[in-house]
Structure 1
Amino acid sequence: MTTDTPIINRETQHERVHLALKYILGLIPTGATSLFPLLAKEFPHKRESIYAHTVYVKNILRVLEYAPVLRTQILGLVIDRIIQVDVEIQVELEELEDSDTEVAYDFDTADDDDGISDESDSDSDDDSDSGSDSDGTPVAVLDIKEMTKKLDGMLFLVFSYLEGYINSCRHLPTQNGRMPAPVEELFLVLLQIFMNTILQTFKSRHTQFIIFYMVSLSPQFSDYFLGALGTKILDKSQPEVIRVSAAAYMSSFVSRAKYLDIRQVLMVIDMLGNFVLELVAQVDTGSNVLPDADRYAVFYAVVQALMYIFCFRWRVLEIRSSKDDFDTAGMIVGSMDSPDVNSSRRVGRQWHSGLNSLQRVVTSRLNPLKMCSSNVVKQFARISQSLDFMYIYPILEQNKKIYIPRHAARPDSDMLGAGSGGNRNGAGASGSGSPAVGGQLPHELETFFPFDPYRLHRSAPFMQGIYQEWESEDEDEDDEDEDEYDEDEDVEYEYEEDDDEELQDIGRHSGSMNSEGEDDEGEDDDEAEMNKSIMSMSISPSPAHFLVQGITGRK
């Protein structure tokens, strides 16, 4: 027996479910309490299809239209699931790179128009399972590609929700230039989620850009965000892993957020500089003081943050010869080394007084130039010499003769991966949160800059206009005679984005690495290797700047 029952498409089914839920919640105001556990229970597993994830995220965010009381819980759930996929990609990429295979990368995920509403996406995951060779390696490659598209699609939906909600509040009244109250409430919700989840997850690659986007809406949000990170860094009751992570987030944020004003950059430099100076004054009191990445982990993380920020923001930190600069920036310091008398451009450079801490710190017995990431140190050495800010190559040469053995972490240490159990607060509980191996800490501080370039295709447009790409210092020198510094335009420090070819040559300028009479060819090799690892001044060890497209056997 046949029936004439019409076929109902998925969109109509979803709309009817939302109408039913809205009606039920209207009858039972407390029903939201029972609804959320069901929503969390039915959330697709991270290994399910792109279609399953994007459709579910799209509809669970739709629930917030008629159940705003669940906003904190639902956004927290969605971000938690997104970060699981995000970290999983990093883990699988690192496993591939550690294997005996050669990996080719490309982060373009634009296989279709949007990767969200096409139900055929659900079949693409199944097809990927059938494309394996006898060793099964291509399956892993395709799986990473599918997971990256999944991550991109979910982040696109979250960004779209935030944009739509913000636009819907534009007409609301505001006071003293603040954002409308509902937008401020949404920001505080996301800030809480960031502090409780994202900050405590090592190797998250893209999820943190949710807060990066939200903070861009208001200078007040930037102050809140920087204040929250600064509080974590200075709070000695916090586990060291959280304080180190907060320092990484602060340095990467200040370097990459195009919307920060000079006041905020200088505030961060002063805070971090005072912190390291106070610690050096307390600790560096005798010849028995030795570098220790375990005991002084936060100190090294903050010094590394200062060097990283300097590489990106030296144009803001340099004080030009104007009376207004003295009035607005406070005390200044001159060039920290003798200027090049043959270079008229370099004579008379003056720097914000907060940078004065670096000279004292890098020459201390704690020897941060030995303990911090070698890529950060090399780039800082190049730029600081080029600008006559500081000359540190003699220290680097001396450090080559210093051997600091690896050692077991203290039993009570909360440093990244200390001991065998990670850390007490659960950061990196998925197994990806520890850079240490076998309970040992490397002598060099693990590098992690969470706002490295955003490479997801679909959601990338949300970063346009707010993200600072790397710009080499020699490019600024070329334009210095044409473009005079305008104090009235220092609220938003604008840069031009470099193309891909220029980004491969970051920080190149004559004389940097040859100052000690070293071999030119050897230094060129070192420079090429450093530029390769930096990847557009992106010095995080995470390999997910790219997506695995295919692999070939190592020759």
Structure 2
Amino acid sequence: MDDTMSLHTSKTGLTSFFKKFSSEERYRATAVAVNKVRFSSPKERGLAESVRVALEEGNFHLLKEFTNFLRQAELNSEVCNALKDDDFLVIVKDAKKIVYSLTPDFVHVIECLLSLNWKQRNSEIIQVYTEFYIDIMVTHNRYLPMGISKLIVHWIPDDLDESDWLNGCPSESTRLVLKPIHEVLNRILTAVPMAFDLVIDAISAKFPYFKKPAHVTAGYLFNVLWIIEYKPMFEELILQLVLQKLVVLDVNAPRDEIGSESDDEDDKMKAAPLFQKDDLSADSLAPTANTVKHPVGKTLDISLLMLYRFFDSKCRIHQNSNDQQRWTANRLFKMLLHIFDEVLLPSHNTHHVQFVLFYVTSIRFAYSESFLDLLWKKVQNPNISAIIRHTAVGYMASFLSRARFLPLRIVIYYLKELSKWAHNYIDDSGEYNQNCSLKAHLVFYSVCQAVFYLIAFRARDLTANSKGLLFLQSLQLSRLAMCHLNPLRYCLAPVATAFAGFTRTYQLAYCHTVLERNARRKLATVYGHDKCMPEETLESFFPFDPYLLKLSNKYIKANYMEYQCNDKDDYMDSSIDEHLSRKRAASEILEEDDFILADKRQNHLELSKCQQLDK
């Protein structure tokens, strides 16, 4: 048996347990064994030891193992669960002790440390991790872009976290998780002012893609507005960034796509009154289930709701408001007006985001005056591009028509100023000026269309008494409509038709002959199978056309004026055979709240041309 055991151990290289060792051999074997099993994992090797070996011996092998361990702990949920609170605390405490040694040479391990999911750990870990985070940002500015970006990533809700966000408001548990993140960012900004630009860049870069679920964008927007609460210095840049992002949402949520959702509901309500008062108490206060179905429109709806809340809390001045609150409100409005000038006014094809201005101006009359003054100065300034002046005129006409909170005297004042400007333009252009192209006189035609639109829209208010009629007579509308520049030629057909009917009713002008002559000029020219349509029609832009978003509409509807026909308009009367077909078109148009709804404008143009052709 002894021979067999000896033979076996010699072949396998294993030591027989019957063999005796000397004390010196036993000590040497024990030392080797201990050295082999001292560290069973990178976690037990520790961050401090790994950094020490890298610094003193130039050997980064242990640090790479530790970095891979942290990276796997973040990516793999099972490994992450293995990183218990006690282990997490040890790692962070070690990192805090050697923070001055963690130079840019250790960027990979720092990136892993800053990526750890710490926000749902216990309060002790959050406290220690916060102190480490701030220390590393202050000690090594090289890590600032990375550290700020890692913080802001936590603002983005997960795609499956919809239940934690209701209309852009987080649940209480979610708010508690987000609070320490903002506290860390606040302390970093206080300690390192140079981080200001980095924060703005990171917020812009991390803004969710516009097709993300609504709660993701709304949750991120909540955090973006939160930063203004503790760092007001960010107000202007953040609000400008937010409005730029909402413009992207707006242009990707066209009115015709949002409006088509309610077609079935409209069919069911045909028997109801055309201008019934909408209920703000039920639908508008319902949760997101009552918002529009269009995915981007839903995101825009919730985002605007949050923005209205923000401005309501900042700009609304109460009787007990102190001087500081009044100054803050006025400063914020001036800031918003500047952002409108820079971002919204030059933007094309927006539908709802501009209602931020509509709502804020409804808070104080002084804000409305400032808004209109800005627009009117744009219109009169010849050094500004014609397209911007044209857009400013559209804003003026739409705002003066739709803002219920504006006193009639303001409407009359600007109607007088617009008409006066147009008459002066006619005088300066010269009676024999034959260049009547739309491009050459874009601002003039825009102003004339604004006058026609405003008079047709506010006809009931403007003709409520004899004083109003005398004012309309003083505008010399007949000269304006029938001048050699022929502004009715370029107006939208519904606007021109409504204006012509109104002026005929009150004997202010007789425009139907001009309309018929213009209609013949606009007939299509047919060459074989090709049809050439004249392009001479003003691009319509009335930015405060009816508001289609359901959830945020509660902030708009109370101050919004819907179109109503004037009962005395004889152009609505089909008894006059001479203008029967045109009146029928006008009747169809004016039954709608907005007689130039965006998605029906082209139809109205085609209808007008066909009716004139039939005659």
TM over 0.5: yes
Cα contact 2:589–2:595 (8 A) shared by 1: no
Q: Given the two structures, how large is their TM-score scaled by the length of structure 1?
A: 0.67
SS in 2 for 1:400: helix
CA shift digits 1:227-273 (9 cap, x unpaired): 11011111111111101000000000000111112332122112211
The residue identity in structure 2 corresponding to 1:233 is V
1:90 aligns with 2:210: no
Cα contact 1:448–1:539 (8 A) shared by 2: no
User: 1:399 — aligned with what?
Assistant: 518
1:231 aligns with 2:404: no
Q: Shift in Å at residue 11 of structure 1? A: 2.9
User: 2:208 — aligned with what?
Assistant: 44
The equivalent position to 1:289 in structure 2, one of 431, 434, 438, is: 434
User: 1:459 — aligned with what?
Assistant: 552
**Aligned equivalents of 1:105 and 1:384: distance in 2?**
37
The equivalent position to 1:382 in structure 2, one of 476, 493, 501, is: 501
The equivalent position to 1:32 in structure 2, one of 193, 196, 201, is: 196
1:362 aligns with 2:486: no
Does the C-alpha gap of structure 1 residues 30 and 115 become closer, same or farther in structure 2, counting only changes over 3 Å? farther
1:274 aligns with 2:420: yes
The residue identity in structure 2 corresponding to 1:71 is E
Aligned residues: 416
**Aligned equivalents of 1:76 and 1:441: distance in 2?**
39
SS in 2 for 1:156: helix
SS in 1 for 2:471: strand
User: 1:250 — aligned with what?
Assistant: 396
Return 5+ residue gaps in structure 1 as ranges: 122-141, 326-331, 333-348, 407-439, 478-506, 545-555
The residue identity in structure 1 corresponding to 2:308 is F
Cα contact 2:473–2:508 (8 A) shared by 1: no
The residue identity in structure 1 corresponding to 2:242 is V
SS in 1 for 2:384: coil
Cα contact 2:372–2:396 (8 A) shared by 1: yes
The residue identity in structure 2 corresponding to 1:50 is A
Identity %: 25
Q: Shift in Å at residue 41 of structure 1? A: 1.1
Alignment of 1:69-88 (within 5 A): 69-88=233-252
**Aligned equivalents of 2:497 and 2:582: distance in 1?**
12
User: 1:536 — aligned with what?
Assistant: 593
Cα contact 1:230–1:246 (8 A) shared by 2: yes
Q: Which has the higher helix share?
A: 2
Cα contact 1:405–1:443 (8 A) shared by 2: no
User: 1:61 — aligned with what?
Assistant: 225
User: 1:115 — aligned with what?
Assistant: 288
**Aligned equivalents of 1:401 and 1:371: distance in 2?**
13
Cα contact 2:494–2:595 (8 A) shared by 1: no
Does the C-alpha gap of structure 1 residues 395 and 441 become closer, same or farther in structure 2, counting only changes over 3 Å? closer
Q: Shift in Å at residue 30 of structure 1? A: 4.5
**Aligned equivalents of 1:354 and 1:13: distance in 2?**
65
Return 5+ residue gaps in structure 2 as ranges: 1-77, 86-118, 122-172, 267-277, 526-532, 602-615
User: 1:526 — aligned with what?
Assistant: 585
Does the C-alpha gap of structure 1 residues 353 and 220 become closer, same or farther in structure 2, counting only changes over 3 Å? farther
CA shift digits 1:90-121 (9 cap, x unpaired): 29949x99xxxx9957799x8994339x9xx9
**Aligned equivalents of 1:198 and 1:352: distance in 2?**
33
Q: Shift in Å at residue 31 of structure 1? A: 3.3
Greater C-alpha Rg: 2
CA shift digits 1:473-497 (9 cap, x unpaired): 11xx6xxxxxxxxxxxxxxxxxxxx
Cα contact 1:156–1:458 (8 A) shared by 2: yes
Does the C-alpha gap of structure 1 residues 51 and 508 become closer, same or farther in structure 2, counting only changes over 3 Å? farther
Cα contact 2:497–2:586 (8 A) shared by 1: no
**Aligned equivalents of 1:216 and 1:441: distance in 2?**
40
**Aligned equivalents of 2:192 and 2:318: distance in 1?**
27
Cα contact 2:301–2:550 (8 A) shared by 1: yes
Q: Shift in Å at residue 203 of structure 1? A: 1.3
Q: Shift in Å at residue 523 of structure 1? A: 5.0
User: 1:450 — aligned with what?
Assistant: 543
Cα contact 1:293–1:443 (8 A) shared by 2: yes
Structure of higher RCO (CA pairs closer than 8 Å, 6+ residues apart): 1
User: 2:294 — aligned with what?
Assistant: 145
Q: Shift in Å at residue 88 of structure 1? A: 1.5
Cα contact 2:565–2:590 (8 A) shared by 1: no
**Aligned equivalents of 2:516 and 2:541: distance in 1?**
25
User: 1:198 — aligned with what?
Assistant: 344
Q: Shift in Å at residue 315 of structure 1? A: 4.2
Q: Shift in Å at residue 291 of structure 1? A: 3.1
Cα contact 2:355–2:544 (8 A) shared by 1: yes
SS in 2 for 1:401: helix
**Aligned equivalents of 1:367 and 1:14: distance in 2?**
62
Q: Shift in Å at residue 394 of structure 1? A: 2.2
Does the C-alpha gap of structure 1 residues 170 and 35 become closer, same or farther in structure 2, counting only changes over 3 Å? farther
**Aligned equivalents of 2:239 and 2:390: distance in 1?**
26
Q: Shift in Å at residue 379 of structure 1? A: 1.4
SS in 2 for 1:181: helix
SS in 1 for 2:458: helix
The equivalent position to 1:260 in structure 2, one of 382, 389, 406, is: 406
1:317 aligns with 2:317: no
**Aligned equivalents of 1:384 and 1:196: distance in 2?**
38
Q: Shift in Å at residue 543 of structure 1? A: 7.0
SS in 1 for 2:539: coil
The residue identity in structure 2 corresponding to 1:45 is Y
Q: Given the two structures, how large is their TM-score scaled by the length of structure 2?
A: 0.61
The residue identity in structure 1 corresponding to 2:453 is Y
Q: Shift in Å at residue 526 of structure 1? A: 2.8
Q: Shift in Å at residue 384 of structure 1? A: 2.6
User: 2:71 — aligned with what?
Assistant: none
1:469 aligns with 2:568: no
Cα contact 1:448–1:540 (8 A) shared by 2: no
Does the C-alpha gap of structure 1 residues 87 and 105 become closer, same or farther in structure 2, counting only changes over 3 Å? farther
**Aligned equivalents of 1:295 and 1:78: distance in 2?**
36
CA shift digits 1:166-202 (9 cap, x unpaired): 3587643359xxx911111111111111111111112
CA-based RMSD: 3.7
**Aligned equivalents of 1:524 and 1:538: distance in 2?**
13
Cα contact 1:307–1:376 (8 A) shared by 2: yes
CA shift digits 1:374-403 (9 cap, x unpaired): 111111122333334333222222322334
SS in 1 for 2:480: helix
Cα contact 2:572–2:584 (8 A) shared by 1: no
**Aligned equivalents of 2:254 and 2:600: distance in 1?**
7
Alignment of 1:217-228 (within 5 A): 217-228=363-374
User: 1:350 — aligned with what?
Assistant: 470
CA shift digits 1:16-41 (9 cap, x unpaired): 21122222223334533331111111
Mean alpha-carbon deviation: is it higher for 459-468 or for 24-33?
24-33
Cα contact 1:319–1:350 (8 A) shared by 2: no
Cα contact 2:494–2:586 (8 A) shared by 1: no
Cα contact 1:284–1:364 (8 A) shared by 2: no
Alignment of 1:117-132 (within 5 A): none
